[in-house]
């Protein structure tokens, strides 16, 4: 029997993708782990690996096809006993607009009761290379997982569903079905009057569509509340100058943003009640502060995650952020590098923005919006002086975090910014 190759879910929010380029043709022999195609997801262009061994029998979806649904069959491999004749290869086609899809609510992973018990193993466990890596990371025994892939092969979704039975520290399982809010219907375009100026209609990219959908859901379903605090930056700027002078021979340069990532990580450790997310009838309380950092990329925004931000040295955060930001702009981040944060930081200070409020990035419980550092009047004791000050505004999910807890977090963050030697302790 032929073996179906299906469109994989290459990111947690992916519902469909664009088959950008085939890297194989009918007649080619592939093995598990071979890169066979490039897929444009809602976040980036990513490589697709083969999960089975065999000869490519046919390519069912031409290059450039948009809106290919996850799990749709896109190619077939020749199975044992298949005839030698092969269909002619699919001719490349120009990208065609995908018809607008009806809004969908992503189905939750199967509950433990709905996962069938594994049958007796016959030989080695059949699992894709990616499923094996995810299983090793999550501590899942593949022998106890029932595969839903071609020929009963275990795929990533099967491993993640099994891991959902016993969530691991630092891993974000999907929220229960009863906690999921229905996706809002897409807003109909407002008709323009005849007197409107000439305009061009620009088709939304997959990333832009995902950003629009997720932020609309977040703003409509999460009860945001906002707290602001002014932080004096003079001591932090002075310490940064000293650190960069000492680290210059090593080629390391620490930015203000790197220090703010560290400060947020330490503040979350100091106020653990803020390092949480809402999960229906429960709260997830995280044992580690993983900070998502907003990075502008062509056509949208990505949030690479600095794991254990409070526990890392500033030089390590600087090197990591430099690498993550560069690969984010090149579309080369892996899904696990931009998902799973516990809180976010968005800095628009470099654009001269004095103050703003950001939308929470679900399933996280808060985001800090950082404005520009600028000279302002400042009262020191009873004396009026001039200081470099920035305004920080926290957006909090009131279902998980109360006002007093949010205030404690901002106070801890401000304390570290104004006495930054605490970041080096």
Q: Is residue 244 part of a domain?
A: yes
Assign 231 a pLDDT band (cuts: 50, 70, 90). very high
End-of-domain residue from the set 78, 106, 129: 78
Strands (E), 84-235: 224-232
Helix 234-247 to helix 403-418 angle (10° resolution) is: 50
Q: Are residues 401 and 317 in the same domain?
A: yes
Q: Are residues 400 and 338 in the same domain?
A: yes
CATH number, domain with residue 379: 3.30.559.10
CATH number, domain with residue 25: 2.40.50.100
Which residue carries 């976010």 as its tokens?
A: 344
Q: Is residue 179 part of a domain?
A: no
Q: Are residues 248 and 375 in the same domain?
A: yes
Q: Are residues 250 and 376 in the same domain?
A: yes
Q: What is the pLDDT of residue 36?
A: 92
CATH number, domain with residue 124: 4.10.320.10
Whats the size of the chain, residue-wise?
425
* pLDDT-wise least confident of 11-15, 62-66, 255-259, 335-339: 11-15
Q: Is residue 313 part of a domain?
A: yes
CA separation (Å) from 137 to 70, 141, 142? 24, 11, 12
Check residue 125 and report its DSSP letter.
-
Q: Is residue 97 part of a domain?
A: no
Question: Contact, 346 vs 369, CB < 8 A?
Answer: yes
* pLDDT-wise least confident of 85-99, 115-129, 349-363, 401-415: 85-99
Element at 379 (helix H, strand E) = strand 374-380
Q: Are residues 234 and 309 in the same domain?
A: yes
Assess whether pLDDT exceeds 60 at residue 182. Answer: no
Assign 298 a pLDDT band (cuts: 50, 70, 90). confident
- Confirm whether pTM is higher than 0.75: no
Assess whether pLDDT exceeds 90 at residue 130. Answer: no
Other Cβ atoms closer than 10 A to 415: 16
State how far the Cα of 15 lies from the Cα of 13, in Å rounded to an integer: 6
Assess whether pLDDT exceeds 50 at residue 112. Answer: no
Q: Could you list the residue range(s) of the whole structural domain that residue 352 is in?
A: 220-424
Give Cα 420 distance to the centre of its chain.
29
Exposure of 296 in the CB half-sphere (CA atoms within 13 A): 5
Q: Which one, of 303, 332, 294, lies nearest residue 45 by Cα? A: 332
Q: Are residues 129 and 69 in the same domain?
A: no
Assess whether pLDDT exceeds 70 at residue 173. Answer: no
Number of domains in the chain: 3
The sheet with strand 65-69 has its strands ordered as 45-49, 35-40, 16-22, 65-69
Q: Are residues 336 and 266 in the same domain?
A: yes
Q: Is residue 203 part of a domain?
A: no
State how far the Cα of 154 lies from the Cα of 172, in Å rounded to an integer: 21
Q: Are residues 316 and 363 in the same domain?
A: yes
End-of-domain residue from the set 29, 59, 78: 78
Q: Are residues 246 and 162 in the same domain?
A: no
Token pair listed for 274 = 């803020």
Q: Is residue 409 part of a domain?
A: yes
Q: What is the pLDDT of residue 109?
A: 43
Assess whether pLDDT exceeds 70 at residue 185. Answer: no
Q: What is the pLDDT of residue 334?
A: 86
The pLDDT of 178-185, averaged and rounded, is 47
Q: Is residue 333 part of a domain?
A: yes
Give 57-118 as a DSSP string: EEE-S-TTEEEEETT-EEEEEE-TT--S--PPPPPP----PPPPPPP-PPPPPPPGGGSPPP
Pairing of strands 16-22, 35-40: antiparallel
Q: Are residues 236 and 123 in the same domain?
A: no
CA separation (Å) from 176 to 108, 128, 173, 179, 323? 7, 27, 9, 5, 34
State how far the Cα of 303 lies from the Cα of 248, in Å rounded to an integer: 28
User: Which residues are marked as active site?
Assistant: 398
Q: Nearest 5°: phi and psi at 122?
A: -115, 95
CA separation (Å) from 207 to 45, 97, 101, 240, 279? 11, 15, 15, 35, 25
Q: Is residue 98 part of a domain?
A: no
* pLDDT-wise least confident of 109-113, 251-255, 346-350: 109-113
Q: Are residues 299 and 349 in the same domain?
A: yes
Element at 270 (helix H, strand E) = helix 256-270
State how far the Cα of 82 lies from the Cα of 6, in Å rounded to an integer: 19
Q: Are residues 74 and 118 in the same domain?
A: no
Token pair listed for 236 = 């932090």
């Amino acid at each position: 029997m032929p073996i179906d190759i299906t469109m994989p879910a290459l990111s947690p929010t992916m519902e469909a993708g664009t088959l950008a380029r085939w890297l194989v043709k009918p007649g080619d022999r592939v093995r598990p782990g071979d890169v066979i195609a490039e897929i444009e997801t809602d976040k980036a262009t990513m490589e697709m690996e083969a999960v089975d061994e065999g000869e490519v029998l046919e390519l069912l979806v031409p290059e450039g096809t948009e809106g290919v649904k996850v799990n749709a069959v896109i190619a077939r491999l020749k199975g044992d006993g298949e005839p030698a004749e092969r269909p002619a290869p699919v001719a490349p086609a120009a990208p065609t607009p995908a018809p607008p899809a009806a809004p969908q609510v992503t189905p939750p992973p199967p509950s433990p009761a709905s996962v069938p018990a594994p049958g007796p193993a016959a030989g080695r466990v059949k699992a894709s290379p990616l499923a094996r890596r995810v299983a090793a990371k999550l501590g899942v025994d593949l022998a106890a997982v029932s595969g839903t892939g071609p020929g009963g092969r275990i795929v990533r979704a099967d491993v993640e569903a099994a891991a959902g039975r016993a969530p691991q520290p630092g891993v974000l399982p999907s929220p229960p079905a009863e906690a999921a809010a229905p996706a809002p219907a897409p807003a109909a375009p407002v008709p323009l009057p005849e007197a409107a100026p000439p305009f061009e209609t620009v088709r939304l990219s997959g990333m832009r569509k995902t950003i629009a959908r997720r932020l609309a859901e977040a703003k409509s379903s999460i009860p945001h509340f906002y707290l602001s605090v002014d932080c004096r930056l003079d001591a932090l700027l002075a310490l940064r100058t000293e650190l960069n002078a000492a680290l210059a021979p090593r080629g390391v340069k620490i930015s203000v943003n790197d220090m703010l990532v560290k400060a947020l990580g330490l503040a979350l450790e100091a106020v653990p009640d803020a390092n949480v997310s809402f999960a229906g009838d429960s709260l997830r309380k995280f044992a580690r502060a993983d900070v998502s950092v907003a990075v502008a990329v062509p056509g949208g925004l990505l949030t690479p995650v600095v794991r254990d931000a409070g526990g890392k040295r500033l030089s390590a955060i600087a090197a990591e952020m430099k690498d993550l930001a560069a690969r984010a702009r090149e579309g080369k981040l892996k899904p696990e590098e931009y998902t799973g944060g516990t809180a976010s930081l968005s800095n628009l200070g470099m654009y001269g923005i004095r103050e703003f409020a950001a939308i929470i990035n679900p399933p996280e419980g808060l985001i800090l919006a950082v404005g520009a550092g600028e000279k302002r009047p400042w009262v020191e004791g009873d004396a009026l002086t001039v200081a470099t000050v920035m305004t920080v505004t926290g957006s909090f999910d009131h279902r998980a975090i109360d006002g007093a807890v949010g205030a404690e977090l901002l106070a801890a963050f401000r304390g570290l910014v104004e006495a930054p030697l605490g970041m080096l302790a």
